[in-house]
Amino acid sequence: MGTVVLGTGSCLPKKILTNAELESIVDTNDEWIRSRTGIEARRIGGKGEKAYQLAANAARKALEAAEVLPEELDLVVVGTISSHMLMPSTACFVQNEIGARNAFAYDLNAACSGFLYGYDLADKYIRADRSKKILVIGVETLSARLDWTDRNTCILFGDGAGAAVFGYSDSDRGLIDAQMGSDGKLWNLLCMHAPKSLNPDLEVEGNPGAHILMEGREVFKHAVRAMEEAVRGVLEKSGLGMKEVDCVIPHQANIRILKNLADRLEIPPEKMFVNVSKYGNTSAASIPIALDEANREGFLAIGKTVLFCSFGGGFTWGAVLTKW
Ligand code: ACO
């Protein structure tokens, strides 16, 4: 018994940008992108598809699946690093859009780990008060925060939103354990500056503007290592082994990171849900989009043991183990 997902939803922009189309934007090619990342296409937000609009659509689907009314929500948390405004938060826009008038709302900045940090947070609130209903969303419109002349980064990311409604169940289901981590020392390996400062004294030296900067090879190594540690940690705390895990839903960064992780942790390919080829890396949205697809495609069944893991800018990482 404990914190369970009552319903999931997702929303992807309509526009599909293929690797072939990227060839006319930067010096790259489909073969390079596929073989290094496993990505074949990504979605790009258009009119009516701002972060809060994608998030609200995903939220409506999750609420419908959960059979929870917007006014029953106590809290709306949105993991994002690409809101269309710095203030108000995307969560406040979503709260207004869906009519969650009894909820308080805020954003959480943990890059690709935003949804798992939100999952952990929802669990803590629900443990403190079992009547709480909490909406956690991961949403990104990183197409607005990419340097489209930098082939090292612009090929990797995509836009989208995923959402889950959390509540309490007194059945034998629920969150088993979670382990979150952060390390700010290596922030510069993966970062996004703020818009230019209007106070010259506070400007960050060499601020190139608000787009993603990344040292790909270094990020790769840290991502595999941190996710492996988080998974081992959460399994150890729960007294379970990988053999007892039925499904793994990892952050969809790229296929080589996932293969490396699967090798180190001896995860059979059929247990791991992967959709990175369709959407690229959607940062905070990647796990909830994958969760919603896995859920709707029947990859998850009641009573299965499901493991989530993530890694992102900060650095931030985490793992959650749950009985679905
Ligand atoms: N198309 C063609 N060539 C390219 C491209 C491209 N899009 N990008 C880089 N190259 C070239 C480089 O210029 C370099 O050429 P050179 O040898 O002439 O200098 C060559 O390809 C190799 O570049 P590397 O950066 O060493 O390539 P690598 O094998 O490391 O692959 C990649 C790059 C895919 C970014 C890899 O490092 C990676 O997957 N890193 C993890 C990054 C990631 O997933 N970040 C997401 C955020 S964090 C997270 O979500 C976990």
Q: Measure 251 CA to ligand 1 centroid, in angstroms.
A: 18
The answer, yes or no, to whether any atom of ligand 1 lies below 6 A from the CB of 282, is: no
Tell me if 28 CB under 6 Å of ligand 1: yes
Look at ligand 1, atom 33, and give the residue with the nearest C-alpha.
216
pLDDT value of position 194: 95
Is any atom of ligand 1 closer than 6 Å to the C-beta of 215? no
Strand partners, 253: none
User: 241-251: string of b/e by CB count within 10 Å (b at 16+)?
Assistant: eeeebbbbbbb
How much of the chain, in percent, has pLDDT values that exceed 90? 99
CATH 3.40.47.10 fits 2-171, yes or no: yes
ipTM: 0.95
pLDDT average, residue stretch 286-305: 96
Per-residue pLDDT at 90 exceeds 90? yes
Q: Which atom of ligand 1 is nearest to the CA of 112?
A: 50
Checking if the pLDDT of 1 tops 90, the result is no
pLDDT tier, 120 (very low <50, low <70, confident <90, very high otherwise): very high
How far away, in angstroms, is 255 Cα from ligand 1 center? 13
- pLDDT tens digit sequence for 188-230: 999 999 999 999 999 999 899 999 999 999 999 999 999 999 9
The answer to whether the CB of 260 is under 6 A from ligand 1 is no
Mean per-residue pLDDT, 255-265? 97
Question: Any idea what the Cα angle at residue 260 is, between residues 224 and 252, rounded to 5°?
Answer: 70
Residue nearest to atom 9 of ligand 1 (CA): 152
pLDDT higher than threshold 90 for residue 323:
yes
Q: Is the CB of 314 under 6 A from ligand 1?
A: no
Q: How far does residue 151's CA lie from ligand 1's centre (Å)?
A: 8
Q: How much distance in Å is there from the Cα of 214 to the middle of ligand 1?
A: 10
For residue range 306-318, what is the model confidence (pLDDT) as tens digits? Answer: 999 999 999 999 9
- Taking only the tens place, the pLDDT of each residue in 37-70 is 999 999 999 999 999 999 999 999 999 999 999 9
Domain boundaries, the chain: 2-171, 175-273+296-323
Name the residue with the closest Cα to ligand 1, atom 10.
152
pLDDT value for 245: 97
pTM above 0.90, yes or no: yes
> CA–CA distance from 218 to each of 215, 221, 229, 258 (Å)?
6, 5, 17, 16
Which residues sit opposite 180 in a β-bridge?
A: 318
Residue 88 preceded by cis peptide, ω within 30: yes
Residue bearing the CA closest to ligand 1, atom 30: 217
Residue 117, pLDDT above cutoff 90: yes
Q: Which of the listed CATH numbers 3.40.50.1970, 3.40.605.10, 3.40.109.10, 3.40.47.10 matches domain 175-273+296-323?
A: 3.40.47.10
Q: Is 312 helix (H, G, I), strand (E, B) or coil?
A: strand
| Catalytic residue annotation | 112, 251, 281
**Cα 113 from chain centroid (whole Å):** 6
Nearest one of 162, 146, 122 to 285, comparing CA atoms: 162
User: What is the Å distance from ligand 1's center to 152 Cα?
Assistant: 5
Out of 79-83, 103-107, 149-153, 206-210, pick the least confident: 206-210
2-171 shares its CATH topology with 175-273+296-323 = yes
Our answer on whether the CB atom of 22 is closer than 6 Å to any ligand 1 atom is: no
- pLDDT given at position 31: 97
Pocket of ligand 1 contains residue 34 by CB under 6 Å? no
- Mean model confidence pLDDT for the chain: 97
Stated as kind and residue range, the H or E segment containing 16 is strand 15-18
